[in-house]
Structure 1
Amino acid sequence: MSVFADLVAHLADLLQPLFHASATAVAIVLFTALVRLLVHPLSRAAARGQRARIALQPQIAELRRKHAKNPEKLQKAMLELHAKEKVSPLSGCLPSLCQLPAFFLLYHLFSNTTIGGESNALLTHKLFAAPLGDRWHDALGDGGVLGPQGLVYVGLFVIVACVAAFNFRRTKRMMAAGTAGMPTVTDEQLPGMAASMGAVSKFMPFMSFFTLVSVAVVPLAAALYVVTSTTWSAVERAALYPLPSAGTAPGTSAAPATP
């Protein structure tokens, strides 16, 4: 972790003449953008994978019809189909998984009071009036919601709420366009799956708003990572997964943009 701390500190030193006391906060934002840029090829691959999975839906529907009474054969046939077409059902998870180490390093860096047996000087750095090692409850105890520290979090909450609202509208529109085009799975074919998918579909658009909870409970430095990464994701998905055009037929969904 000391190597990671040195990297953040060195980047902050380079930015200090421009951003002064907030240089470390800006360094975290730039570091997050760099991580997302490095992961972007995986996001593009995930978009290609989703386009391929959409193309396989008619064959998957046929397999479900053929093996409706034998879930084991259905699972095996679907795995064989994905392998034959070189489509990974898990490709969409890779971008998120690859970001986790960077987030946890940042979280631990600004949660520990010492690094290598020495005092963690990074905890004294701030974003405006708010220390990067503090959490929202610390800001509430030092001036309240509208205090100098509280206003920093208000700004972050506003950004997250705007991004979440943007994601909410896009998710609702994409689900409305794509639901009718998905293969039908009845209770007789796969018991319980239809009801479960319906519950997930209703819940999914609201998931973006849970980022507000993350920003409130993690150290401010980690919150900056979350806010920057969430905003990047919203822009990235808007580019890679365009909404259906006005002329798109009902029950169909737009394919991801060609990377």
Structure 2
Amino acid sequence: MKNRYLVLTVMTLVGSPAFAEAPPNPADLRRVTKARESLVPAVEKAFGPRARFVQLFGQGREMLAGVVAEVPVEPLGTDDLPLLAIVRYAEDTGAVRVVAPEFKYREARIVGQDVALLDGAGTLRLRDANGQERLLAEQVGGDLFPTAKGDALVATLKTGVPGPHETAVGIIDLKGRVKVLADGPGVDATPSISPDGRTVVFVSGRTSVASFFVTTVEGGEARQLTNVGLENWMLFGGPPKEFVPPPVSSHHMEWLSDDVLRYNAGGGVFWTLNVRTGHAAADVGGAK
């Protein structure tokens, strides 16, 4: 899910020292280049010469990619995103196959042996290998992130409160049961769940600066991890050196351990975050 508050926070930082000092990790650049080599011709063959893949969903050997019918001529607003068809991409072999050919989805994630598909109306369904679907939940905003066991996923939820910036974080199991884990004032979004299934990290604007918070699958009291003590006016003219940028989405997050999360902070720059201590740093990798 894209939301204006978090996106504007990231846009404020583009070109700032926080990003200039952290070039993309060469390994990440190689992965993107390799994905494009397989996806570009496969997408053109399946959907026509105007189609483009615009988003990778997930990490690991098997990922999903979102495809637009054509790139819009005019720039779209932050919340006005094009609907996608979905293909599956195998990083090790480069194989690409169509999963959902209809241009009707916002997001998709692999969950166990199945694929979770979120349509433009906020309805989340689970599709099995035979193409059979069943309803999981409605009023889902996005930011899908499955558990390591593939038995549930965390997501941003629409709260029903008037206004575009009122969202919550919840967990949805494969029986369609939804549990709210965090619902502070304003935006709670972009959740990710640790490999052991115990810790949920998300981004909140409740302190006026988009920051990481942590809670549990039981929905315990949320604790702020990053940007403690900062206020939005402190970002004017460039962020202070202690500022930790938020992620651009949940689709480019991966856990290096039960305690350490790696995420895309924008511009292809990845950061690591220790969810116990709150320590964060740019992950620039080696020169090779």
Shorter-chain TM-score tier = under 0.3
More helix by percentage = 1
* Bigger Rg, which one: 1
TM-score normalised over the length of structure 2: 0.22
